[in-house]
A and B are shown apart, each in its own frame.
Chain A
């Protein structure tokens, strides 16, 4: 089984999936697969496939109403990823500042 972070990266690596996710966030309401397919001018099958990948990553939740399936955005998993990226951004930023200070205080080294 792929771990969640890997699934997340896979899900957001594709520009169309990012756009679909973004559209759902902006809509701030559930959109049906048909609505998404119309908006993106891609086949229903294509949308369904992208939605499945986004759902596996936990970025989308599906709700069946009658014959139509509705999709909701769920940005929570991105926070996890963001936490990671922020930690390392900070970590390396601080470390390079330390390196700079070190180099500046050892001019004669």
Chain B
């Protein structure tokens, strides 16, 4: 078993468009999580989920690499000081764009406390995502 989550997905869209969606703050804020983000090496970013009854979680880290079409940043949940790494790689393919996503360093988390922390994050996250989905639906209906 590897200490890494890997995902691959093909998007039926040009590589530039997908790159903008994963690297520009206003776009990240639309589909993923409220972001103070710049695709510049060394930038200290912050992702903040919207406030709900559980309160919401902050994720922060440093941009390690940001050259089209590779984006790497560290991923630290709340004040855990445990660093994991998220890597986005894009590749132009005939159908559009292939994304390869990796989240590594999960073994850096200490056992029990990390699981408890993440379970609470899970609840908070789902709440925030649902809000986001509602928001996007409204946007689509309005437009």
CB atoms of B7 and A92 under 8 A apart: yes
Does B115 touch A at the CB level, under 8 Å? yes
Size bracket of the A interface: 20 to 34
For B129, the chain A residues whose CB sits under 8 A away are 94, 98
One of A9, A83, A100, A101 near B107 (C-beta < 8 A): A9
Does A109 touch B at the CB level, under 8 Å? yes
Does A64 touch B at the CB level, under 8 Å? no
Q: Is chain A's interface secondary structure helix, strand, loop, or mixed overall?
A: helix
Q: A5-B111, A103-B17 are in contact. Are A81 and B9 (CB under 8 A)?
A: no
Q: Is chain B's interface secondary structure helix, strand, loop, or mixed overall?
A: helix
For chain A, residues 42 to 101, give those with C-beta under 8 angstroms from any C-beta of chain B. 80-81, 83-85, 87-89, 91-96, 98-101
CB atoms of B111 and A80 under 8 A apart: yes
Bound-state CA distance A97–B57 (Å) is: 21
CB atoms of A105 and B140 under 8 A apart: yes
Bound-state CA distance A23–B79 (Å) is: 41
Does A22 touch B at the CB level, under 8 Å? no
CB atoms of A81 and B1 under 8 A apart: yes
Residues of A within 8 A of B (CB): 3-6, 8-9, 12-13, 80-81, 83-85, 87-89, 91-96, 98-105, 109
9 A-B pairs in the complex with CB atoms less than 8 angstroms apart: A3-B110, A5-B107, A13-B1, A85-B5, A88-B5, A94-B129, A99-B22, A103-B12, A103-B21
